[in-house]
Amino acid sequence: MKEDLTEVVARDLSDAASALEALRNRPEMLAAIASAGRLLAESMDKGGKVMSCGNGGSLCDAMHFAEEMTGRYRNDRRPYAAVSMGDASHMSCVGNDYGYEQVFARYVEGLGRPGDVLLAISTSGTSRNILLAAQAARAKGMKVIGLTGRENSPLAQASDIAIVTPAGKYADRVQELHIKVIHILIEITERLRDPQNYPDAE
Which CATH number belongs to the domain containing residue 121 in this structure?
3.40.50.10490
Whether residue 2 is contained in a domain is answered as: no
- The percent helix, strand, coil of the chain (3-state, each to 5) is 60, 10, 30
Whether residue 15 is contained in a domain is answered as: yes
Whether residue 112 is contained in a domain is answered as: yes
How many residues belong to the chain? 202
How many Cβ atoms sit within 10 Å of the Cβ of residue 107?
23
Residues 156, 161, 166, 170, CA torsion sign: negative
At residue 55, the 3 state secondary structure works out as coil
Asked if 144 and 112 count as a contact pair (C-beta separation under 8 A), the reply is no
pLDDT at 171: 86
How far apart, in Å, do the first and last CA atoms of the chain sit?
Answer: 57
Whether residue 153 is contained in a domain is answered as: yes
pLDDT at 2: 77
Bridge-partner residues for 118, per DSSP? Answer: 51, 144
Domain that holds residue 182: 9-195
At residue 123, the 3 state secondary structure works out as coil
pLDDT at 170: 79
Whether residue 4 is contained in a domain is answered as: no
Asked if 88 and 120 count as a contact pair (C-beta separation under 8 A), the reply is no
Q: Identify the helix (H) or strand (E) that includes residue 164.
A: strand 161-164
Cα–Cα distance, 34 to 19 (Å, whole number): 19
Give 10-residue mean pLDDT values along the chain (202 residues): 87 92 96 98 98 97 98 96 97 97 98 98 96 98 96 95 86 93 98 92 66
Whether residue 200 is contained in a domain is answered as: no
At residue 139, the 3 state secondary structure works out as helix
pTM as predicted: 0.95
The CB-side HSE value for 61 (13 A sphere, CA atoms) comes to 24
pLDDT at 1: 61
Q: Identify the helix (H) or strand (E) that includes residue 162.
A: strand 161-164
Whether residue 3 is contained in a domain is answered as: no
Whether residue 47 is contained in a domain is answered as: yes
DSSP state of 119: E
Number of structural domains in the chain: 1
Cα–Cα distance, 43 to 190 (Å, whole number): 13
Q: What is the 3-state secondary structure (H, E, C) of 148-200?
A: ECCCCCHHHHHCCEEEECCCCCCHHHHHHHHHHHHHHHHHHHHHHHCHHHCCC
pLDDT at 166: 83
Helices (H), 46-86: 57-70
